[in-house]
Amino acid sequence: MKIKFLGAAGTVTGSSYLLTSDSGSQLLIDLGMFQGPSRIDNLNYQPLEFSTNQLAGVILTHAHLDHCGRLPILEKMGFKGNIYMTEPTAALTELSLLDTAKISHEDHPDRVLYDKIQVQSLVQKFKPIGYHQQFSIGDFQIIFKDAGHILGSVSIEVTVDGKGIVFSGDLGNTPEDLTMPTEFFDAADIVIMESTYGDRSHPAGDPQDIILSEIQEVSKTGGTLLVPAFSLERTQELLHIISHMNIDVPVFMDSPMAEKATVIYEQFHNLLNPEIAADYKSQSPFAFQGLHMVENRKASLALNETTGAKVIIAGSGMMTGGRIVDHARALLPLPTTRLLIVGYQGEGTLGRQLLSGEKIVTINDQQIKVNAHISDTQVMSSHADQPKLLNWLKHIQGVKKVFLTHGEDGPRQSLSEKIKTELNIDNVLLPVLNQEL
């Protein structure tokens, strides 16, 4: 049996794995987009190092672009099989890929990975599977468990050639506001697990207190609070938190995709945590007085010219594109602007540069002076930190080998040492891109 690492091997993005059984049957798990500086982004345009002829099927762990963003390339390669995922993941992935195709066509027409027609064709291959429902793909027997990361996210148990292999997918920061708790596995021979925050513990704190404090500051100065947020999960979490506050500052959700994703979250509210599912009977957990949806780009740009205190929640989460970039260009020079970073910022992204304290940044070929107040919180991370990663792995008995992926080299090296010393698992490997073992 072989495993090939087609992404997220030394980086956080581009998650993808190819399993090959003794008989030559192959299973692809995720085909995510690489996100970050040009040297990483360029990996999206490299030929895939496998043929679809031997693919028995594909599994998608969840709908974030760094896990699903290259899937439509399979259409170009003539893939005829099914892509298995949970029902909410299917809905969110269709939304995410259509949005990506649209933005790519508008922003980089000379460098389009795939188009809307290819996405629509790919969606016909989606096959929804429920949690805890055993099913087979070729030589592989599979069970999904809730990863607790975003709506519909899964960790996967694969049994093949007499071995049990567990893929963590992205593990949630349990307990979380929206998602159900991360589920555990009892036993496995091999574990492939994420390591995004493998070198740290998330700080204690209440995200509601942090967000309220930021809103109160712009309320005093009449400035703007900018919050870059992923359209899936993070935006819904922010809306849910703010819905419990008593504020008189208008909140603008400036993301058509996030608006559509929120409708999907409402549709599958029964898969969210029980508290939200119970509350939903009376009202949406994401709606409140003072919330405004920004319908088009013209209205979005006009926000930068309006006076008075306001909150703008916009994508993308790492400030690599989307409407948050326009707001950053216009508002970062103003000392009354506050930028609150609430999620992971990949290497080379605008978000990482601002978080590092850079006072002059380049946005769309313009040099922008940063006079805004920049802060961040890891309290809202949707990824497990080092203690929670170790706790998840500790529940799995009989582990002989661990592969650490979906993390930069520093965090996964730190997690590797912890696994060896605290869990007594000596065989911990840090694969590199396109390595096959």
Residues of the chain where predicted confidence (pLDDT) is lower than 50: none
Cα–Cα dist 327/226, whole Å:
8
pLDDT at 330: 97
pLDDT at 136: 97
In single-letter form, the type of residue at position 85 comes to: M
Cis peptide before 255 (omega within 30 of 0): no
On the 0-12 / 13-18 / 19+ scale of CB atoms within 10 A, 171 is buried
pLDDT at 254: 97
Instruction: Strands of 151-272 (E only): list them.
Output: 154-160, 163-167, 190-194, 224-228, 251-254
Residues in CB range of 320: below 8 A, 6 or more apart: 35, 36, 346, 349, 350, 351
pLDDT at 281: 64
Strand, coil or helix: what is 223? Answer: coil
CATH topology for the 207-376 domain:
Rossmann fold (3.40.50)
CA distances for 263 relative to 275, 292, 323, angstroms? 18, 15, 20
Helices of type H across 268-400: 274-279, 297-303, 323-331, 350-355, 386-394
Give start-end residues of each CATH 3.40.50.10890 domain in the chain. 207-376
From the CB of residue 423, how many other CB atoms can be counted at a distance below 10 Å? 15
The token duo for 203 is: 């700080």
For tokens 């592969």, the residue is 403
Please give the backbone phi and psi of residue 22, each rounded to the nearest 5 degrees, phi first. Answer: -60, -30
The alpha carbon dihedral of 108, 111, 117, 121 has a sign of negative
Please tell me what DSSP assigns to residue 94: H
Residues in CB range of 341: below 8 A, 6 or more apart: 228, 351, 354, 355, 374, 375, 376, 377
What dotted CATH number matches 2-200+382-429?
3.60.15.10
Please tell me what DSSP assigns to residue 362: E
Indicate the angle between helix axes 256-267 and 87-107, nearest 10 degrees.
Answer: 170
Helices vs strands, H then E, count in the chain: 14, 21
Give start-end residues of each CATH 3.60.15.10 domain in the chain. 2-200+382-429
